[in-house]
Structure 1
């Protein structure tokens, strides 16, 4: 029986990304993703700045939103800069350590964002269904603990998933058929039978993705029942629905793409199927989050306009 401990021959990986694309297509993709990256960094950075410094946005909803934007900045910075470099250079080789680090950061930030989105849904539930006790239930101390829980769980769970990803040595092909080191694709390159690691990651994804989603569904079911049961005006209902719709849109984008990447059998995957969903949850969603929240929130739009106005004047 072969000793897998001494059979690892892979010291680096080749990120295929958009290698098969023509030079003109690569130039177009580089320009597009550079613009998207710049917009995402600018808008998320502005949300972080105003939610953490403007006293008029001193509420749990904006506290969570600031941390969501920070996670989005971490998410896109983990993947897009490397992709941009690989679109203009011929050498797409990354070291083993760099690939494993990128995988861990995607695990870490992705898990933290899943949990944070669930806490944001709970915040909306308390605000709408228990408005008189909102300040006591969602105190500053509670909000800090909830955000800390999301970060710590992402940190610990990321370490566990990273271990499951590299528990077998790598001695097969070192070509990664995506634009970053995505775990399911990298695990398929390990020696022996990678199915156990994939099953563990699948089970973990079921818990990490579906558990927060259950909390989100329950929260919004109570919110919907509360709104429809009140004798409020149509304008008041519309404002409440608008606030919730922003969060639900983000949840649908993020969870749908993440579930496809980590909860589907590998037999249903392929480069043409993986890349669009990977782009959706690592690039498009972090860029859309600030647009969705700012465009559907008058208070946020007003604060952003004032912040931009002060910047232009200075």
Structure 2
């Protein structure tokens, strides 16, 4: 595989991709093309349904629509490049394009991390302060919280990429992955990266695992509250269903990100990195619409109104 001269500045990276087998590449191209289209379709349906149905103009659905937008944005950053790579044996990405990909990937991923925290807080208020819920989570508060998630993602990404740009790249240019990400790129720097790795682990890995633990504790408290204080069957079932859905996505997202960014670069497990990266970048964005929203009764009713009564009977009967 191509490598640059050890004294030359790296101007592009070679991506090894998911596999070197042409037959397997074609099969994976079909699978991930379907997943990519499903991600777009599922999340677009959620956004359209929430916008068009006034009954869904509530804090939780506003947050879910923003999550759907983040899922679409996240898939755009890495999946198209992966699909193109599956059609080619020679996969390259320019240095500047690699930096941009990492910037937007961590920008959107950071926004996702903070939005999941906001959604947990929303559920906490809804369960513990039901009478004051709409007053506390009013439109201005929700808008400010969502804006804060994007600002938090921007700050996180700017810090990470700013540190990467300080590193010299003058040796190997081969990345054993299907997209550019900071842990793999840092390993190619022709200088000691120990301090940078510590900063990366502390900002990405440790922060992710701390938030993950806090979210698990908060959802446990919420579920205990639901079990002990809600007596109405339908209401309890709906609350359990919503919180358990949130918990599944939180576990998938934070679990994978913690394993990717907490592991030191000295531990090189390329196959596990690729599997975790696929779940982190592709699978969660596809599953989110089904886990969170499309099995939700209120969203189904809103979708039925968009499709019309005739189509409703054939699709939802």
TM-score by length of 1: 0.92
* Aligned residues of 2:46 and 2:294 also touching (Cα < 8 A): no
Q: How does 1:81-96 map onto structure 2 within 5 Å?
A: 81-96=80-95
Displacement, 1:304? 2.6
**Corresponding residue number in structure 1 for 2:69:** 70
Do the aligned partners of residues 15 and 298 (structure 1) sit closer, same or farther apart at CA in structure 2, a change above 3 Å counting?
A: same
**Corresponding residue number in structure 1 for 2:16:** 16
CA distance in 1 between partners of 2:235 and 2:66 (Å):
28
Consecutive unaligned residues in structure 2, runs of 5 or more: 1-5, 313-317
CA distance in 1 between partners of 2:220 and 2:89 (Å):
51
The aligned length equals 307
Please report the RMSD computed on the Cα atoms of aligned residues, expressed in angstroms.
2.0
Displacement, 1:268? 2.9
Displacement, 1:312? 7.1
**Corresponding residue number in structure 1 for 2:170:** 171
Do the aligned partners of residues 293 and 7 (structure 1) sit closer, same or farther apart at CA in structure 2, a change above 3 Å counting?
A: same
* Aligned residues of 1:164 and 1:201 also touching (Cα < 8 A): no
SS in 2 for 1:14: strand
* Aligned residues of 2:209 and 2:258 also touching (Cα < 8 A): no
**Corresponding residue number in structure 2 for 1:138:** 137
* Aligned residues of 2:63 and 2:119 also touching (Cα < 8 A): yes
SS in 2 for 1:9: coil
SS in 1 for 2:266: helix
1:227-283 Cα offsets, whole Å, 9 max, x none, are 232260444322211111111111011111111111112233322110000000100
1:168-195 Cα offsets, whole Å, 9 max, x none, are 1101210110000011000000011112
Do the aligned partners of residues 310 and 83 (structure 1) sit closer, same or farther apart at CA in structure 2, a change above 3 Å counting?
A: farther
TM-score by length of 2: 0.91
Q: Mean alpha-carbon deviation: is it higher for 241-250 or for 225-234?
A: 225-234
Do the aligned partners of residues 52 and 212 (structure 1) sit closer, same or farther apart at CA in structure 2, a change above 3 Å counting?
A: farther
1:27-60 Cα offsets, whole Å, 9 max, x none, are 1000000000001001111111122232110111
Q: How does 1:197-236 map onto structure 2 within 5 Å?
A: 197-206=196-205, 208-230=207-229, 232-236=231-235
SS in 1 for 2:42: helix
* Aligned residues of 2:230 and 2:236 also touching (Cα < 8 A): no
Superposed structure 1 runs of 4+ greater than 3 Å apart = 233-236, 308-313
